[in-house]
Structures are given as structure tokens and as C-alpha cells.
């Protein structure tokens, strides 16, 4: 951010400009005014620079990480690879179980995308889960350790202030953010203000030194439809807006996290408020889940919300897997979550009229209409799945050249009929043109008709 | 519709009023003014009456049916049962393969939900697939046969007029509706207007006799993002609006079908135009699919569009399965499509503030917050899946009483911390109250504090 504001274009800015198809100067400008962030810890050289902002392609983050119930280093690295393979733009390691540091190290050293964490988890782990024993000093230690390892962005729950806690008591689902509930418990136990808020400038100092992007966590995001857009949530958002200004004043890149559970009719309001209260800082939302009633399918309930909120201007979507609310996701869940969210992000890019997104849809549809099956599969989000679904009912290699699929069969294929139609129309149009020109000719006019339509 | 306009409340109206939680008079009024339809062929006594209209719960239709590539009567009946089990409000039999009549008969005789068809498919089958040989007389014969069997609603592609066909030649994907491409091919072959349009009043006569609801098919719906909301589509919609008036004048219940492929930013316009041009007739949309780029996952690309369009007022959603564009769906695809669409419909009901939908979400979230796992599973859209996902990582029966799941483990469970927080807050609030009252007492005031908060 310092370079951007000093009118210096770094090679990272050049790289993302090429990835996004915009000018480097445009990238610099968006970083300088805080409307976009380029998370790249100086200690994570393995990362390929990417940018998060509402004027760029919508990004998707995948959460991975172990828990005390289920922890295994290799499977977390495998999840990271699965996430990246299926298009994750960033990955958050939310481990809370054993080997937190080693797991994170292995993930960072193998990851081409920026890695995010929630440092308060490791801090809590270091004090054996006793929330009361947390302190700013311990937190700073953890933050520096993670910074040295190369974490690119960190979620900080600094906006959950003491006066907001009573606002959550009448809620249906209270506080559902892990970091939020930890900070609230600490505050009440000590009858003191959130130490992340009190030490926010110190925290910015660490972030600035390593070029870590801060992601302001919404510790009191709604955990159910009934709690959406309530006073607690909006009060915290207002505080996050203040913190955005402090971060920027300290040359720290910053984005703002959002809900959670929100019914479709209240999504637009969320984006409007974030933009207004947080001065256009990139919005990074979890879903939102648009109905509570489908545990086991929250990748779908939330892909709906994600597509809508991204259309309104959210810059990055944090995926939700089918296991949300039920258990720790495995690699299959990571794939299912990523697929649903790449769809949500792309549908938003299409709605926003991004030329690259429109082009992709156009090329796929052309291939479909022209029965170029292989092209259609290869242009698809997941060629493997598209190909296997097609081959299930029409497996012969010859079927790849067929002008129909098993859905309608040869006689009922609308696209096949459509082709015949065009051919006939060309003949008919030609006949009409000839008729018309005969008319003109009879009136003494000279008309040229090309021999091929 | 005749009864409704004659101020007569039938027992079917009473039944749907109970199902929807509204008054019978409200139901009668909505049917009378054409803003809702109650599809119930007099020859389908097995059906449980249901209503389709924007002021009622959003409905979902499941398409089943064989094709010439894959045809098997039993598996079609099984698909119908799967669809109904997972919440289909109506089922359309779109068979185009062999045994069309027997398949349909078996489906109708076993179905508790209204059955819809596209009669032109059977008509084309009867002439061996030669589009040119189709005629109004043949169509009428097919329609009466199907009416006698008990088909509750029929899709009629009567709005695709001769002048609209040239409007499709510049499209990326031409005409993608099977019925639409059949009628366009017939019209061009005979250089005559669509016979379904020319004979629309005769067609209404048959429909009225059996109380069949007409569903006006959008034969030139867009088949790709690039073709959405184009002149061809809107021209046909205008004609469908004229046909709505003719149907109503003949006491025939009528709804209007909609697209297809539409980017998120163009969805609202579709609903507005339908409402305006078709005088509030129930809108029945296929998806819409919001991006072309994910064959194999079009249940998700379209659930996004479906949730949005239903929030704007679409009355019934026609599901799309993962096999769309690739092959004939099997029972698993039917289940996946239904699940995605029940989510879309419910998310829209929640957004529209339907009391029953909000209640369902509220009760599930309460169960979640109170760690009543069994209640949470049973209130879920698909209890089987929710339960199995949870048990995968925490299978012991004791885990059902645990105040955490494998996602966060015991120490990091926000909901668990939230409970502790509430308890502490109650103590703290009580301490504050006592302090305050001591103050008042010292000023000579009398204050009563209940012994239990």
C-alpha cells in the first residue's frame, strides 16, 4: 500500500494486471485508495500475486484446517491442493487441533495462493484452551510467528466491543463466530475491552512490517436467518469501518468480513452498509446462507447468497461446504464447496458483464450448439464430471460426434432441428430475396444477389 | 375457473386453503382473477389438490420421462416416486421414446401430484418423427387421449409465430425448446402459421371440458446467456399474453412458462415483463441457469437463478438436474435436482417472508443452538443426509448429546462459548442491577429484585 500510494508500480501489481486484463496503473490506483488488496507476505515467495477488489474478478476462498476431533497434517495439505485444483484463489488454514504450526508450515510452503489464518486460534491453543489466559502479548507473539512463516492475511476480531455483547443475548443463535465468541468470553471474564481493539495500532505495525493484509472478522455475524441484519451485527460493522481507517493510515491493506446467514431480501442492504461504513474496503463474505433448513446442502443454500452478494459487489467469497454445521469437511467436501462457489463467483462476473466471463460462456454455448462435445467438455468448469455424465448413457466414441444426447434422442433434439431450420430459412430467405429483386428488376432497378448466402 | 368466477368455493379450494394456511375465499379470488391455478383434471382423482400462484408457497416441478435412447417404464415410475418423496409439487412426463402412453398411464395412476405433459411430443411420435406430417387434427386427438387419461396440465407452444423465427437466426443457440423447434420446423415446412396458435380456441374447448390447465410454453426461450432477453423471446412473451386473455375468456386456467438461460442482472426484467404482458398469470420458469459454463452442475447454476426469480414472484420452478445438456437424468439426478430446487423455493419463501417458511428456519436454528441434534436432523430438508454427514466423524451415540461437532471440537465451539457467555452475562447483569438498586436504596427508594433472573 505504501508503494501504491507513492505511485510506484511493483512487479506484483504488473502480474495481477496481466491476470485480470487491466492496466498496472489501474491496479495501483485501486490498492492506493484501499478498494482492493494484494495479499502477499514478504515471507511467502511461493505465492502467485492475486488481487481482491470489486472491480476485479470475484475471488473464492476455501477454508481448511484440522480440529481436535480430527487432525492429520497430510490430509490438510491434500485439502489445500484439492482446493487450489478446483480454483481456490486463497486458502485459509483454520486448524485448531494438534500440530498447528507444522500443518500451517506445510500448507504455506506448498501453496501458490495466499494463505490466511485466524491467529487467535493458535493463541488459544497455546494456553490450553483457557480463554481467560489470552493476552495481547501472547497474541502478538503468535502473530509474529505466523508472519515469519509467511501467512498472507489474518482475520482479526477487533470490532467486537464490550457494549455489543448484550445485544446478542436475545438472538436465536447468539455468537456463532469462533473468534468472536472467544473475544467476547475474554472481555466478559476480565471486564475489559477487547484487547485486539485496544492494541489495533500495535497490530497494524506487525502487519505493515510483513505486508500482511488484515481481514476484519465479523465476530457477531448472524448465525441464523432470524438474526440477520440486527443491531449487534450493524454496530460491529460500524466499528470495523473505524478500524479500516486506522489500518489505512498505517499503510496496512485491509478487507472486511461479512455474514453468515442472510435471507435473499436482506443481502443488498449488507453490501450497501459495508460499502458506506467501511469506505469501499473489499468485502469478503461467508456465503451468505439464504435458509437455515438444509444442513448437508449448505454449499447450495449459500452459493445462492454468494452469487447474489457478489453481483452486488462483494470481492471475495468464502466457500461453505456440504459439511457446514455438521462436521469437519474432507477433500470431497472441499471439491463440492469449491465447485458451488466457482459457479457463484462466475455467475456474478457474468452478471457484472466481465468480458472474460462472458467470453467463456459464449464459447461453451457455441460448442454446445455446434455439437463439438469435446470442446464443450474442455470449456466446462469441471471437464471430468461433464464428460463422465455424458458418457454414462452414450458411451461409444461415435456418440461424441452425434448431433444429440440421451436427454432427447435424435428426433427430439431442438438444436438439431434448429440447424435444419437455419438451413431451410437460408433457402427461404434467398427465395424471398430473389422474388423481391425480380420485382425491382421489373421496375428497371439493378440488384446484385450474392450466389452464396 | 368457472366455479371461482361464479363465487363457488369447491372442496379442492378448501383443501389447498388448508395446505397453504389461507382462507378458502382468498384461494377462490386468486383463481377467479387468474393469478393462481389449481391444476386438477377431472380424470385424475388420485391427485391431492395444490395451487400455483405468486401469493402462495413457491412450487417445484420435476421433469421425468424417457427418450428413444433410454426407455423403461418402471424406472420412470420410480423417478416419479423419487421426485414426490423429495418434495415435487408437480411432475411432468416428457417421454419421447417408446410406450409413451403406458408410461404416462402408470405415472398418473400412481401420482398424488398433478401431472403435466407436452402433447406435441406424443403427436410427433405418432407420425414417426416426421414433423411435416403434424396437424391440428392429430394434435387434438392426442390431447383428448391424454385428457381422458388424467393429465392435469399441458404445455402448448402456441406463441411461436412465423414472424419470430427469423429473429432466432442470429442467436448463439437458436431455438432450444424441443416443442418450439418442432413447431418452427412445421411452420417453415408448410409456410403456414403455427396451428396451435390458429386453433387456440379449439384447444381451450378441450382444456375447459376436462379442467386442464394450459401452460403456455416459451418455444423461443434463450438457450445461452448471450441470447437472454432478446427480441425473439420478448416478442413471443407478448403473444403469450394475448393467449392468456383468450384462455381466461374460455374459463381455462392458464400459466406462462419462462426461461431458460438468464444472467442474474436480467432476471428481474423477465418477471416484470411477464407480469405486465401476461396480466399476472402465474409464471413457471425453467431455472433460469445463470451461467453456461458448468455442465454437470446445472442444478446449482440454475438453483441460483431459481431462488432469485422466485423471490421476484415466480410461482413455480421447473427443476434442472445435474444431467442437463448431457444426458437423460436417472433417479439420483432427480433427487439432486429436487434438493437444489426445494432449497431455491424455500429460500424465496423466506425472502418473501412466508410465516411457515420463517418458522421452519427458526425452529431448526433453535435446535442447532441448543444442541438438540436429533431435532436438527429431523427439521432438515433431508434428514438422512444431515444425520449421515454428522455421524461420519462423530459416530458414537453419545456424540448426539455433545455440545460441539467435529468441525470445531469442544474448545472452539462458538455456540458452546455463547451459552457460557449468556450464563455469565446473566450473573453480571444481576450484579449490576444489585449495585444500581443499592444506589437507589441509599437514596431512600424501594426496589424489588426478583431472586431468579
pLDDT > 90? residue B349: yes
The residue length of chain B stands at: 453
Mean pLDDT of A432-447: 56
Nearest-CA distance A266 → chain B (Å): 8
Nearest-CA distance A121 → chain B (Å): 8
Judged by CB atoms closer than 8 Å, whether chains meet at B184 and A294 is answered as no
3-state secondary structure of A119: helix
Residue A435's pLDDT is what? 67
Measured CA to CA, the distance from residue A434 to residue A449 in angstroms comes to 8
Q: What is the pLDDT of residues A375-390, one digit of tens each?
A: 999 999 999 999 999 9
3-state secondary structure of A206: helix
How many other C-beta atoms are found inside a 10 Å radius of the C-beta of residue B132?
11
Chain B residues within 8 A of A343 when measuring between CB atoms: 291, 294, 297, 300-301, 304
Judged by CB atoms closer than 8 Å, whether chains meet at A173 and B415 is answered as yes
Confidence of residue B103 (pLDDT cuts 50, 70, 90): very high
Residue A104's pLDDT is what? 95
Judged by CB atoms closer than 8 Å, whether chains meet at A381 and B296 is answered as yes
Mean pLDDT of A74-84: 94
Q: What is the pLDDT of residues A95-128, one digit of tens each?
A: 988 889 999 999 999 999 999 999 999 999 999 9
Residue B193's pLDDT is what? 96
pLDDT > 70? residue A237: yes
Confidence of residue B417 (pLDDT cuts 50, 70, 90): confident
**For residue A120, how many C-alpha atoms fall within 13 Å in the half-sphere facing its CB?**
30
Measured CA to CA, the distance from residue A121 to residue A94 in angstroms comes to 8
Residue B400's pLDDT is what? 65
Nearest-CA distance B276 → chain A (Å): 22
Q: What percent of chain B shows pLDDT beyond 70?
A: 91
Mean pLDDT of B75-80: 93
Nearest CA in chain B to A179: B414
Lowest-confidence range among A168-177, B72-81, B101-110, B444-453?
Answer: B444-453
Average pLDDT taken over every residue of chain A:
91
Residue B452's pLDDT is what? 40
Mean pLDDT of B274-298: 98
Nearest-CA distance A4 → chain B (Å): 33
pLDDT > 60? residue A447: no
Report residue A418 CA to chain centroid gap: 38
Nearest CA in chain B to A386: B296
Residue A158's pLDDT is what? 98
Was B316 annotated as part of a binding site? Answer: no
A70: nearest CB among B225, B295, B393: B393
Residue A446's pLDDT is what? 45
pLDDT > 80? residue B402: no
Judged by CB atoms closer than 8 Å, whether chains meet at A189 and B424 is answered as yes
Mean pLDDT of B342-351: 98
Which of A183, A302, A304 is the best substitution to test chain B (most B C-beta atoms within 10 A)?
Answer: A304
Mean pLDDT of B437-441: 58
| Parallel/antiparallel/unpaired status of strands B254-258 and B283-286 | parallel
Nearest CA in chain A to B289: A347
Nearest-CA distance B288 → chain A (Å): 12
Structure ipTM over 0.95, yes or no: no
Judged by CB atoms closer than 8 Å, whether chains meet at A69 and B347 is answered as no
Q: What is the pLDDT of residues A245-255, one digit of tens each?
A: 999 999 999 99
Residue B194's pLDDT is what? 97
Residue B431's pLDDT is what? 66
Nearest-CA distance A263 → chain B (Å): 5
Nearest CA in chain A to B63: A407
Mean pLDDT of B62-71: 82
Measured CA to CA, the distance from residue A154 to residue A179 in angstroms comes to 12
Residue A71's pLDDT is what? 64
| Alpha helices (H) along B215-266 | 231-249
Nearest-CA distance A43 → chain B (Å): 29
pLDDT > 60? residue B394: yes
Mean pLDDT of A341-353: 98
Q: What percent of chain A shows pLDDT beyond 90?
A: 82
Nearest-CA distance A357 → chain B (Å): 9
Residue A395's pLDDT is what? 63
Judged by CB atoms closer than 8 Å, whether chains meet at A417 and B97 is answered as no
Mean pLDDT of B67-81: 85
B176: nearest CB among A174, A409, A414: A414
What is the value of pTM for the model shown? 0.91
Residue A259's pLDDT is what? 93
Q: What is the pLDDT of residues A276-321, one digit of tens each?
A: 999 999 999 999 999 999 999 999 999 999 999 999 999 999 999 9
Which of B361, B386, B399 is the best substitution to test chain A (most A C-beta atoms within 10 A)?
Answer: B361
Was B278 annotated as part of a binding site? Answer: no
Q: Which three cell numbers stand for residue A270?
A: 449488507
Residue B238's pLDDT is what? 98
Give, as one character, the DSSP assignment of residue A62: E
Confidence of residue B70 (pLDDT cuts 50, 70, 90): low
Q: What is the pLDDT of residues A212-231, one digit of tens each?
A: 999 999 999 999 999 999 99
Say which residues have a Cβ less than 8 Å from residue A104's Cβ, sequence separation at least 6.
Answer: A93, A95, A115, A117, A146, A149, A151
Judged by CB atoms closer than 8 Å, whether chains meet at B411 and A124 is answered as yes
Judged by CB atoms closer than 8 Å, whether chains meet at A297 and B382 is answered as yes
Mean pLDDT of A170-189: 94
Chain B residues within 8 A of A69 when measuring between CB atoms: 393-394, 406, 409
B408: nearest CB among A67, A131, A407: A67
Mean pLDDT of B408-432: 72
Residue B414's pLDDT is what? 81
Confidence of residue B190 (pLDDT cuts 50, 70, 90): very high
Measured CA to CA, the distance from residue B28 to residue B13 in angstroms comes to 7
Contact between A70 and A97 under an 8 Å Cβ cutoff? The reply is yes
Measured CA to CA, the distance from residue B380 to residue A125 in angstroms comes to 33
Residue B418's pLDDT is what? 80
Judged by CB atoms closer than 8 Å, whether chains meet at B340 and A300 is answered as yes
Q: What is the pLDDT of residues B297-341, one digit of tens each?
A: 999 999 999 999 999 999 999 999 999 999 989 999 999 999 999
pLDDT > 60? residue A256: yes
Judged by CB atoms closer than 8 Å, whether chains meet at B411 and A362 is answered as no
A307: nearest CB among B304, B369, B406: B304
Confidence of residue A451 (pLDDT cuts 50, 70, 90): very low
Chain A residues within 8 A of B294 when measuring between CB atoms: 339, 342-343, 346, 380-382
Q: How far is CA B277 from CA A270, B164, B193, B265, B305, in A?
A: 33, 17, 22, 20, 21
Judged by CB atoms closer than 8 Å, whether chains meet at A69 and B393 is answered as yes
Chain B residues within 8 A of A261 when measuring between CB atoms: 365
Backbone dihedral region for residue B313 (phi beyond 0: left; psi -120 to 50: alpha; all else: beta): left
Residue A452's pLDDT is what? 40
Judged by CB atoms closer than 8 Å, whether chains meet at A376 and B295 is answered as yes
pLDDT > 80? residue B430: no
Q: How far is CA B146 from CA B64, B103, B124, B381, in A?
A: 17, 12, 14, 34
- The class of domain A34-353 in CATH terms is alpha beta
Mean pLDDT of A13-29: 97
How many other C-beta atoms are found inside a 10 Å radius of the C-beta of residue B416?
18
Judged by CB atoms closer than 8 Å, whether chains meet at B292 and A364 is answered as yes
Average pLDDT taken over every residue of chain B:
91
Measured CA to CA, the distance from residue A72 to residue A77 in angstroms comes to 9
Nearest CA in chain B to A426: B169
Residue B450's pLDDT is what? 40
Amino acid at each position: 500500500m505504501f508503494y501504491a500510494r507513492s505511485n510506484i508500480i511493483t512487479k506484483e501489481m504488473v502480474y495481477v494486471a496481466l491476470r485480470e486484463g487491466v492496466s498496472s496503473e489501474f491496479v495501483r490506483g485501486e490498492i492506493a485508495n484501499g478498494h482492493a488488496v494484494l495479499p502477499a507476505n514478504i515471507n511467502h515467495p511461493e505465492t502467485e500475486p492475486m488481487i481482491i477488489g470489486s472491480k476485479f474478478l470475484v475471488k473464492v476462498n476455501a477454508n481448511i484446517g484440522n480440529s481436535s476431533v480430527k487432525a492429520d497434517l497430510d490430509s490438510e495439505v491434500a485439502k489445500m491442493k484439492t482446493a487450489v485444483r478446483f480454483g481456490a484463489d486463497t486458502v485459509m488454514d483454520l486448524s485448531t487441533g494438534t500440530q498447528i504450526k507444522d500443518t500451517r508450515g506445510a500448507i504455506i510452503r506448498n501453496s501458490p495462493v495466499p494463505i490466511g489464518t485466524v491467529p487467535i486460534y493458535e493463541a488459544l491453543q497455546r494456553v490450553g484452551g483457557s480463554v481467560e489466559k489470552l493476552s495481547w502479548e501472547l497474541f502478538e507473539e503468535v502473530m509474529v510467528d505466523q508472519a515469519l512463516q509467511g501467512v498472507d492475511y489474518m482475520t482479526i476480531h477487533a470490532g467486537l466491543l464490550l457494549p455489543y455483547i448484550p445485544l446478542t443475548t436475545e438472538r436465536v443463535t447468539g455468537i456463532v463466530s469462533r473468534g468472536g465468541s472467544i473475544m467476547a468470553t475474554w472481555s466478559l471474564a476480565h471486564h475489559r475491552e477487547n484487547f485486539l481493539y485496544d492494541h489495533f495500532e500495535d497490530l497494524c505495525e506487525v502487519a505493515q512490517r510483513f505486508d500482511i493484509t488484515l481481514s476484519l472478522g465479523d465476530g457477531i455475524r448472524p448465525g441464523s436467518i432470524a438474526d440477520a441484519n440486527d443491531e449487534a451485527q450493524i454496530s460491529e460493522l460500524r466499528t470495523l469501518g473505524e478500524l479500516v481507517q486506522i489500518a489505512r493510515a498505517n499503510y496496512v491493506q485491509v478487507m472486511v468480513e461479512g455474514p453468515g446467514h442472510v435471507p435473499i431480501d436482506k443481502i443488498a442492504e449488507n453490501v450497501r452498509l459495508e460499502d458506506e461504513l467501511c469506505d469501499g474496503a473489499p468485502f469478503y463474505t461467508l456465503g451468505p446462507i439464504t435458509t437455515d433448513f438444509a444442513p448437508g446442502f449448505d454449499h447450495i443454500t449459500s452459493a445462492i447468497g454468494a452469487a447474489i452478494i457478489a453481483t452486488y459487489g462483494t470481492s471475495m467469497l468464502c466457500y461453505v461446504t456440504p459439511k457446514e454445521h455438521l462436521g469437519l469437511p474432507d477433500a470431497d467436501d472441499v471439491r463440492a464447496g469449491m465447485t458451488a462457489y466457482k459457479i457463484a463467483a462466475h455467475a456474478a462476473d457474468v452478471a457484472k458483464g466481465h468480458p472474460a466471463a462472458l467470453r467463456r460462456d459464449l464459447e461453451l454455448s457455441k460448442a454446445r450448439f455446434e455439437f463439438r462435445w469435446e470442446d464443450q467438455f474442455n470449456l466446462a468448469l469441471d471437464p471430468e464430471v461433464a464428460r463422465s455424465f455424458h458418457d454414462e448413457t452414450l458411451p461409444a466414441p461415435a456418440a461424441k460426434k452425434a448431433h444429440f444426447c440421451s436427454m432427447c434422442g435424435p428426433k427430439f433434439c431442438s438444436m438439431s432441428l434448429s440447424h435444419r431450420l437455419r438451413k431451410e430459412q437460408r433457402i427461404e430467405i434467398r427465395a424471398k430475396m430473389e422474388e423481391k429483386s425480380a420485382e425491382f428488376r421489373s421496375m428497371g432497378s439493378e440488384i446484385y444477389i450474392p450466389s452464396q448466402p
